[in-house]
Amino acid sequence: MAIYKIFPTADTTLYSGYVSANTGLDEILEASTNFKISNPQVDGANPQASRFLLQFSQTELENIFSSKILNSTWRADLKCYTANVTGLTSTSTVNVNALAESWNMGTGRYLDLPETQNGSSWKYRNYEGGIQWTTSSFASGTTGSYNLTTNSTSAGGGVWYTGSEASFNFSYYSDPDIKINITDIVTNWSSSAFNNYGLIVRQSASQEFIDNIHEQTTLKYFSRDTHTIFPPELELKWNDFSYNTGSLEVLNTLPATLTLSNNPGIFYSGSVNRFRVNARPTYPPKIYRTGSLYTTNYALPTESYYRIKDVYTNEVAIQYDSTYTKLSCDSTGSYFDLYLNGLQPERYYKIEIKTTIGGTVLITDTEEFKISNE
């Protein structure tokens, strides 16, 4: 099974309260509702909204499909990691659409003084005084939305394709991180049904520009310029599972000992490695033979999976998945291929193996490895 992560080539937030301001280099992306306007920031009389944009490389996507995914079953998820989330309700919803117009990231930050205007903003796609977002007579299959009832200057905020919209629903106690299935959007990019201008992430229309301070929702996520290990990511997963044990015996005895081979301990970001799992009974049955019982490798059962965790934060980088992190097997033993581009450089990770033997679930921590920048 295979998982491949792509990080944004550009991102920014559009603020209705700062119609010409660019925030392309800010560490935070925001899809919030509030009453904040002007610079210096003050409480305004009219409700405001913010939306954020993400661009992923079409060239990289085409390469993945043509050289890796091929005809396999696949899925694409957008993941954004929480910096600060407040005001969630049982009806809080985030919508993700494919953008229908191009834009420029820019080099601004939130509340720059003087205001940076060299990139995309609520009003402009490229820079202050440049090309404005379409606000009427939308092309077929596209739309935009904004509030003109109280402030005619708030027109803008992006233009997106109406098809293949993806939604993520929060609750009071849900994980505030965003994980949205955008397979339909990526399919439309791959087939050229949509031009790949990236994504727009926003609260639902019923939540934006809401004129009630008690129903304001703040959604802030780390951007590509964050100095943390939590940038946004587009996670592609595909099913390349293969299971042929050859002459190997399937492990059916507990306790069991699992170790990894093909792990030099240090990998370069962007490489791919096939990890092999050495599996055997911890106490092999006594039989007469000329070789060591402890060197006999066994195949793990078909219901075996891997997970990747950050050693120091214990954050899960790749979660168990019954379809996409399943261990394959050949005549040598069980294995999985790991694309290391999605792991952060200069971090240490550990691999966990989960398998079911005789109805008992066994989870084993195996070896660690480091992603190097050098």
Kindly report, residue by residue over 40-64, the tens digit of the pLDDT: 666 667 788 999 999 999 999 999 9
The rounded percent of the chain whose pLDDT value lies above 70 is: 92
Average pLDDT, the chain: 90
| d(C-alpha 297, C-alpha 293), whole Å | 9
Kindly report, residue by residue over 81-111, the tens digit of the pLDDT: 999 998 888 778 999 999 999 999 999 999 9
pLDDT of residue 44: 66
Split at pLDDT 50, 70, 90, the class of 151 is low
Beta-bridge partners for 354: 305, 363
What is the chain's alpha carbon radius of gyration, rounded to the nearest angstrom?
Answer: 24
> Left if phi > 0, otherwise alpha if psi is -120 to 50, otherwise beta: which for 209?
left
pLDDT of residue 367: 84
Contact 179, 170 (CB under 8 A): no
| d(C-alpha 134, C-alpha 204), whole Å | 20
| d(C-alpha 55, C-alpha 12), whole Å | 9
pLDDT at 117 over 70: yes
Contact 199, 99 (CB under 8 A): yes
Kindly report, residue by residue over 309-365, the tens digit of the pLDDT: 999 999 999 999 999 999 999 999 999 999 999 899 999 999 999 999 988 999 988
Mean pLDDT of 264-279: 93
